[in-house]
Amino acid sequence: MSNKKPLLPRDLMMFFNSNREIQRFFHDLVVVLDEALGPDFLSAIALTGSEPNAEDIIQALVPALAAMMESKLKDLELEIKAAGVNLHNPHALDDLAMTSNDNFSGYLIEELKKRVTGPSSSTDNALARFDGVTGKLIQDSSLLLDDDGNLSKDNDDLLVTCGANKTLELQNIVYEDIQVSISNVRVPTSNAPTERLYNHGIGGGVTFPVLGFDTNEYIYFDIQTSHSMKLNTILDNHIHFMTPTDGTGDRFKFQLDVIVAGIGGSWTVPAGSPFTPEHLITADYTNKHKLFEIADIPASNTTVSSIYKCKLTRIAATADEYSGEIYMEFTDCHYQKNTMGSRQEGAK
């Protein structure tokens, strides 16, 4: 290295005089850069006008140094590749550093060892993957993440492996159905709704089953909660129905009795049971698919596969009773879903 002492601007000397370590570091840095980078570096930080202060020097030094270092690193990388040295082999670069003929080349080789490099081209929006175990080489992938945060795969199926006793957990709740077809309900020996075949207002002679509820008629059905249902959350029960005649302005009412138990738990009556919602027919429902909210059953699912046993009865309305039957098509429950199944067979 050169023994010449660089001339530092007066303001810069005054700036560093208060800290001897900083002064020594800057002095050594300028010596190294002057020797390693030569006139190109000195001209890159040349300042015009009056004598520069410390702030001027630093503001000029940083971008010039970064650009010059990047240029030198690229030149060295090309030379090493041309010599047949594997840039991703740290031992080969260690050997180069040991045999380099000056400190600055050794420093550049150390910087190359820290670099992470990849292929000459890549797939737009593809996620980069490490290639090997060095942490210095990346490769292209078929997994895509677009600017809106949508994850996809550009060829075959997207496979997700969670590992043992793990699953995908949603941070924002979504909703799903637990469905009970009318073909799966139990009817009593008396006071049962009438099983009818109805054409749903469509001609041609094809009919489909419905349950026609008159007052004081009831059914039983059971609900087992899904493993994906968030524990201790509301279960929203409702029926899908229609009326065979116009009942605008009339009312009808149902009662839902519920008991519930989680696995290993005792049967309890959830708060609010029996639920007794009443519905006002606001328009002609004839042959229209309508939905009637029966109950928001309070949080009772303490485990996966909790069981709700339900009895649904049509009871007398408070006034203006609809005289016809209520044709029930389906009963189901909306529930909050927060995982893809459960982590274990019997536990969330």
| Helices (H), ranges, 155-200 | none
Q: Say how many C-beta atoms besides its own lie within 10 A of residue 274's C-beta.
A: 14
Cα-Cα end-to-end distance for the chain: 68
- Predicted confidence at residue 31, as pLDDT, reads 57
Amino acid (1-letter code) at residue 33 = L
Take residue 7 and report the two structure tokens written for it. Answer: 């001339």
- Predicted confidence at residue 8, as pLDDT, reads 45
Choices 2.30.40.10, 3.40.640.10, 3.40.50.10490, 2.60.120.260: CATH for 169-339: 2.60.120.260
Residue 258: phi and psi, rounded to 5, are: -135, 140
Residue 278: phi and psi, rounded to 5, are: -120, 145
Could you tell me which residues come within 8 angstroms of residue 147 by beta carbon, excluding any fewer than 6 positions away?
125
Residue 10: DSSP 8-state: H
- Predicted confidence at residue 94, as pLDDT, reads 56
Give me the tens of pLDDT residue by residue for the chain, a chain 348 residues long.
444 444 344 444 455 444 455 555 555 555 555 555 555 555 555 544 444 444 555 555 666 666 666 666 666 666 666 656 565 555 555 555 545 554 545 555 555 556 677 787 888 888 888 888 877 788 888 888 898 888 888 778 877 788 788 888 888 889 999 999 998 999 999 999 999 999 999 978 799 999 999 999 999 999 999 999 999 999 999 999 999 999 999 999 999 999 999 999 999 999 999 999 999 999 999 999 999 999 999 999 999 999 999 999 999 999 999 999 999 999 999 999 999 899 988 888
Query: What is the 3-class SS of the chain, one letter each residue?
Result: CCCCCCCCCHHHHHHHCCCHHHHHHHHHHHHHHHHHHHHHHHHHCCCCCCCCCHHHHHHHHHHHHHHHHHHHHHHHHHHHHHCCCCCCCHHHHHHHHHHCCCHHHHHHHHHHHHCCECCCCCCCCECCEECCCCCCEEECCCEEECCCCCEEECCCCCCCCCCCCCCCEEEEEEEEEEEEEHHHCECCCCCCCEEEEECCCCCCCCCEEEEEECCCCEEEEEEECCCCECCCCCEEEEEEEEECCCCCCCEEEEEEEEEEECCCCCCECCCCCCECCEEECCCCCECCCEEEEEEEECCCCCCCCCEEEEEEEEECCCCCECCCCEEEEEEEEEEEEEECCCCECCEC
User: Closest Cα to residue 271, out of 237, 234, 297?
Assistant: 297
Domain ranges of the chain: 10-114, 118-159, 169-339
